[in-house]
Chains A and B, each alone.
Chain A
Amino acid sequence: MSILVNKNTRVVVQGITGNEGLFHTQQMVEYGTNIVGGTRPGKGGEWVLDGKVPVFDSVRLVVEAKGANCSVIFVPARFAPDAIFESADAGIPLIVCITEGVPVQDMMRVRNYLDQKNIRLVGPNCPGLLTPGEAKVGIIPGNIAIKGNVGVVSRSGTLTYEVLYALKEVGMGVSTCVGIGGDPINGTNFIDCLSMFEADPYTEKIVLIGEIGGTDEEKAAEFIGDNLTKPVVSFIAGQTAPPGKRMGHAGAIIEGGSGLAADKVKALQAVGVRVARHPEEIPSLLKETVET
């Protein structure tokens, strides 16, 4: 068991012929992900990876021909919103957008459109999903995690790999790792993942990796206090970061909370979450949760 993706997920890669798209398609195929096709408008009918993966002109065609039910996006930022709309209109229920640098107003239009259609987006600016032993959808290196019962959700990219690697080093496995991305407007948040992990019988413990800015960690803390029975261990990056550049009066008004690491740590600790001082402390904190 896992959340969001497993070995039956049928994945289409948008932007499969670009450098990054092709490199990571190969990595995903080697991992065993069921990549059913890729898209690049104008290159339909070609094949990549020595004839292993067919290229189509549109996502709709991959859905019709191959029954794709998940897309992963590697196109440049200026084309990413269109790629998301395309998948949504083709009926893809789970869209994973790796691309970073998507304009925030584009993302607000995307998110409001997807909400009306009840489609789940993960990202943008994220490393994607990994269900060890079954599927990786995105760029998380497959060899740094093993199958297990820890659910991992993170706003960060490479910091997530640190944590997966630290878990693997002590033989702890992962049910699913979700990189939700660090952009101000994204598709899936901590609370979405926490409630999926809570409902997943295979996940026994949860690791939540946050960072400074916004108030998502504080909201997650509130949700954990009210709804979660499974133990949560956390790490918050940016404890020593200098105060960021303020965004004028309106930014200060709307953010409400300060976005400081200390406030997030305090909110999480208040609901019983153990917060690590650095990522490599996470495995021992997870072990302690068994004893209590």
Chain B
Amino acid sequence: MKLHEYQSKQIFSKYGIPIPKGRVAATADEAKQIAEELGGRIVIKSQVLVGGRGKAGGIRLAKNPQEAAEVARQILAMDIKGLPVRRVLVDEAANIEKEIYLGITNDRAARKPVMMCSAAGGVDIEEVARTTPEKIIKVHIDPLLGLRDYQAYDIAAGIDLPRELWRSFLTIAHGLWKAYSANDATLAEINPLVIANGRLLAVDGKMVIDDNALFRHPELAEMRDLDIEAPSEIEARKYGLSFIKLDGSIGCMVNGAGLAMTTMDIIKLFGGEPANFLDIGGGAGADKVAAAFRIILADPNVKAVLINIFGGITRCDEVARGILAAMDEVKPNVPMVVRLVGTNAEEGRRLLAEANMITAETLADAAKKAVSVAQAVVKEG
């Protein structure tokens, strides 16, 4: 789950990282009032969860409160890459002398968090990583020990940070480590960390929180911005389903992410287009399957549904009962192709045989049947 810049920076601030003075505003009047309190030059920053805000015109300077109100009004009326700007962050503008990148993420291969730092920070850090990776210093952190002082000093020395800033850098590096570890982040980054008027300041920040850990961070879970998700995806999450909407005509209901992707692949291999990715997960009860059905069938592009269930943790009879309950409730008007194999599959198949559904033995057979009935529906329509 991604956090907004203002949310990330507030968290950073809690752990001793210096951030610019400022607050978030939802209206031009609020922005003006904050600008009056701050005095001096200010920066108005759109709070949307996409990259490239600056290049899209979503980050602008203002010289005085009147100008701040006007700029905020314009930015709040924008859509950036399809996302409405609902809030702007009004910060005092920094006199930036130098831009540094400082971030922590999980290194899958090393199975440890890694702190990364570069003297070439700013918007082009990915370009730096691609073309001159030696300009990025990486230090792995033992998750049982945490960040050690010497590691932070190594980084400061490695980026040729002026020595008078080393103590401040140490505080910031430890603060970022604490923000990352205490909040179960998968990413915590300051970009840029600037030198302004001789001191370090976290001008922009970003955090991504591990969805699996939100149970122990209810206050973070409440920060979720639903704008970046399709309504069907929000509905799916309520039922513990993993759903991604696509543009094809064959709805898919599958258990397991790998098998769901494979089912999409094989539909395409036999000339069809999947309408979605949907993993009903393990231990899916009737209500969960019914919800999956409603979500798939709400898409008017869906001309056929392919249900592919291989029972392990999910028992096929339970799935079959879920399908039948959902059929009763939703009364689907598109053909259904079902393939059930695995634990209690016979009982599941027996239950479905009575419900007039197209059944298939193999995955290839199921995909071919789904593609052909979907095409037939399109021709009839």
Interface set of A (CB-CB < 8 Å, partner B): 19-20, 23-24, 27, 77-78, 98, 100-106, 108-109, 111-113, 127, 139-141, 144, 154-162, 165-166, 169, 182, 184-185, 209, 211-212, 214-215, 219, 235, 237-242, 247-255, 277-280
Which A residues touch B257, using CB under 8 A? 156, 182, 211
Q: Of B108, B189, B213, which one neighbours A249 at CB under 8 angstroms?
A: B189
Which B residues touch A19, using CB under 8 A? 283
Which A residues touch B254, using CB under 8 A? 158
Among residues 304 to 352 in chain B, which have CB atoms less than 8 Å away from a CB atom of chain A?
Answer: 310-313, 315, 341-343
Which A residues touch B215, using CB under 8 A? 77-78
Residue of A with least CB distance to B128: A253
Task: Give the complex CA separation of A237 and B363 in angstroms.
Answer: 14
Q: Which of B187, B255, B312 has the most chain A CB atoms inside 10 A of its CB?
A: B312
Task: Give the complex CA separation of A290 and B282 in angstroms.
Answer: 37
B227 within 8 A of A: no
Residue of B with least CB distance to A105: B184
- Tell me whether B104 and A184 are in contact (CB under 8 A): no
Task: Give the complex CA separation of A204 and B70 in angstroms.
Answer: 73
Q: Which of A111, A139, A241, A250 has the most chain B CB atoms inside 10 A of its CB?
A: A250
- Tell me whether B264 and A240 are in contact (CB under 8 A): yes
- Tell me whether A248 and B208 are in contact (CB under 8 A): yes
Which B residues touch A248, using CB under 8 A? 103, 105, 187, 189, 206, 208
Asked if A252 meets B129 with Cβ closer than 8 Å, knowing A156-B256, A159-B256, the reply is yes
14 contacts between A and B (CB under 8 A): A144-B342, A157-B259, A157-B282, A157-B312, A158-B255, A165-B341, A214-B108, A219-B109, A247-B186, A247-B208, A250-B103, A250-B189, A253-B105, A278-B265
Q: Which of B181, B215, B258, B262 has the most chain A CB atoms inside 10 A of its CB?
A: B258
- Tell me whether A184 and B143 are in contact (CB under 8 A): no
B223 within 8 A of A: no
User: Nearest Cβ distance between residue B219 and chain A, in whole angstroms?
Assistant: 16
- Tell me whether B342 and A250 are in contact (CB under 8 A): no
Which B residues touch A251, using CB under 8 A? 105, 186-187
Which A residues touch B105, using CB under 8 A? 247-248, 250-251, 253-254
Which A residues touch B144, using CB under 8 A? 109, 112-113
Asked if A158 meets B103 with Cβ closer than 8 Å, knowing A108-B112, A109-B143, A237-B265, the reply is no
Which A residues touch B269, using CB under 8 A? 277-278
- Tell me whether B244 and A242 are in contact (CB under 8 A): yes
* Count class of interface residues, chain B: 35 or more
User: Nearest Cβ distance between residue A180 and chain B, in whole angstroms?
Assistant: 12
Among residues 268 to 326 in chain B, which have CB atoms less than 8 Å away from a CB atom of chain A?
Answer: 268-269, 274, 277, 281-283, 310-313, 315
Among residues 354 to 375 in chain B, which have CB atoms less than 8 Å away from a CB atom of chain A?
Answer: 362-364
- Tell me whether A102 and B363 are in contact (CB under 8 A): no
- Tell me whether A280 and B362 are in contact (CB under 8 A): yes
- Tell me whether A127 and B312 are in contact (CB under 8 A): yes
- Tell me whether A280 and B244 are in contact (CB under 8 A): no
Which B residues touch A27, using CB under 8 A? 343
Q: Of A156, A161, A166, A239, which one neighbours B265 at CB under 8 angstroms?
A: A239
- Tell me whether A105 and B210 are in contact (CB under 8 A): yes
- Tell me whether B283 and A241 are in contact (CB under 8 A): no
- Tell me whether A237 and B262 are in contact (CB under 8 A): yes
Q: Knowing that A104-B184, A237-B262, A250-B103 are A-B contacts, what are 13 other residue pairs whose CB atoms are under 8 Å apart, sorted by A's residue number?
A: A105-B210, A111-B111, A113-B144, A161-B259, A162-B310, A238-B258, A239-B268, A242-B244, A248-B189, A249-B189, A278-B266, A279-B262, A280-B363
Residue of B with least CB distance to A235: B262
- Tell me whether A158 and B212 are in contact (CB under 8 A): no
User: Nearest Cβ distance between residue A5 and chain B, in whole angstroms?
Assistant: 17
Which B residues touch A155, using CB under 8 A? 258
Task: Give the complex CA separation of A279 and B332 in angstroms.
Answer: 30
User: Nearest Cβ distance between residue B241 and chain A, in whole angstroms?
Assistant: 14
- Tell me whether B258 and A240 are in contact (CB under 8 A): no
- Tell me whether B216 and A78 are in contact (CB under 8 A): yes
Q: Which of B114, B262, B266, B343 has the most chain A CB atoms inside 10 A of its CB?
A: B262
User: Nearest Cβ distance between residue B192 and chain A, in whole angstroms?
Assistant: 11
Which A residues touch B265, using CB under 8 A? 237-240, 278
- Tell me whether B216 and A211 are in contact (CB under 8 A): no
- Tell me whether B212 and A211 are in contact (CB under 8 A): no
Residue of A with least CB distance to B108: A184
Among residues 179 to 202 in chain B, which have CB atoms less than 8 Å away from a CB atom of chain A?
Answer: 181, 184, 186-187, 189, 191
